[in-house]
């Protein structure tokens, strides 16, 4: 069991970006006892300009489609609505919060008492796995 978590970060060490204007996202896969960087996505200046163009959010949200959550310094109401509609929990943290610290905290909560958004993601994955295995066994409706 694992979940992907994204961090709005310019240096892959700390959360230091507003969601809509993020220059890059570091995406980690968090498993029972490990966290590993699986992808870094970078955007051009035209993708990150905060000038009210809602269409620019779609590409970022599409990129994060497999993530359970995204950590950032700020996120607008429209982005929050779109992220939640896709099952991605936006989480606001102080600028400069270290990604390693957040991953350690997430890993501990995963083992002890995961937050509700993580439980939902795990249930979605398990449901997908169950139907996938049923199809492999030749189950048909």
Please write the tens of the pLDDT for every residue from 115-141. Answer: 889 888 888 878 765 554 444 445 454
The SS3 assignment for 56 reads helix
pLDDT tens for the 141 residues of the chain, in order: 789 999 999 999 999 999 999 999 999 999 877 899 999 999 876 544 455 545 678 889 999 999 999 999 999 999 999 999 999 999 999 999 999 999 999 988 888 888 889 888 888 878 765 554 444 445 454
Structure confidence at residue 134 (pLDDT)? 45
Structure confidence at residue 45 (pLDDT)? 60
CA–CA distances in Å: residue 8 to residues 5, 37, 53, 73, 88: 10, 13, 19, 8, 14
- Residue 40: name the closest of 83, 18, 7 by CA: 7
**In the chain, what are the domains?**
2-136 (3.30.420.130)
Can you tell me the distance from the alpha carbon of 36 to that of 27, in angstroms, rounded to the nearest whole number? 9
Structure confidence at residue 15 (pLDDT)? 98
Structure confidence at residue 136 (pLDDT)? 43
97-98 and 14-15 strand pairing: antiparallel
């Amino acid at each position: 069991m694992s979940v992907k978590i994204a961090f709005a970060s310019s240096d892959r060490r700390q959360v230091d970006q507003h969601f809509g204007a993020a220059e890059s996202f570091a995406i980690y896969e968090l498993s029972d006892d490990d966290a590993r960087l699986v992808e870094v996505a970078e955007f051009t200046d035209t993708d990150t300009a905060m000038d009210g163009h809602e269409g620019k959010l779609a590409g970022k949200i599409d990129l994060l489609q497999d993530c359970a959550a995204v950590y950032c310094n700020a996120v607008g109401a429209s982005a929050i609505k779109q992220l939640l509609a896709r099952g991605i929990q936006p989480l606001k943290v102080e600028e400069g919060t270290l990604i390693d610290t957040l991953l350690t905290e997430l890993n501990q909560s995963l083992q002890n008492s995961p937050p509700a958004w993580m439980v939902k993601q795990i249930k979605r994955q398990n449901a997908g796995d169950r139907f996938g295995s049923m199809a492999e066994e030749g189950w048909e409706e």
